[in-house]
Structure 1
């Protein structure tokens, strides 16, 4: 599965808004939107944090 789709699914499962995720990871809501739409990707450090927070593997 693509990272953007996975992020959106997990965010919705936790009933979080893009703004809440953005605040947690110190980015803008627009950045979260770009990640979910795969117009950009989180840097590796943020990606690792996201994988722990949303409980998914980076394999």
Structure 2
């Protein structure tokens, strides 16, 4: 699976659960910027 596909899937699943990036970040104990990078494929390397 390509990085951008993974990021899209993360974003779709997050939105389907009605969560913001901030809420997802809190659940995982990371920063909202980390979630943004995941969704944009910026930190999956």
Q: TM class by shorter-chain length?
A: 0.7 to 0.9
Q: Which structure 2 residue ranges, 5 or more long, are not aligned? A: none
Aligned with 2:43 (options 36, 40, 45):
40
Q: Which residue of 1 aligns with 2:26?
A: 23
The structure with the largest helix share of the pair is 2
SS of equivalent residue, structure 1 residue 39: coil
CA RMSD of aligned residues (A): 1.0
Give TM-score, length-normalised by structure 2. Answer: 0.85
Aligned length: 41
> Given the alignment of the two structures, is residue 11 of structure 1 paired with residue 14 of structure 2, yes or no?
yes
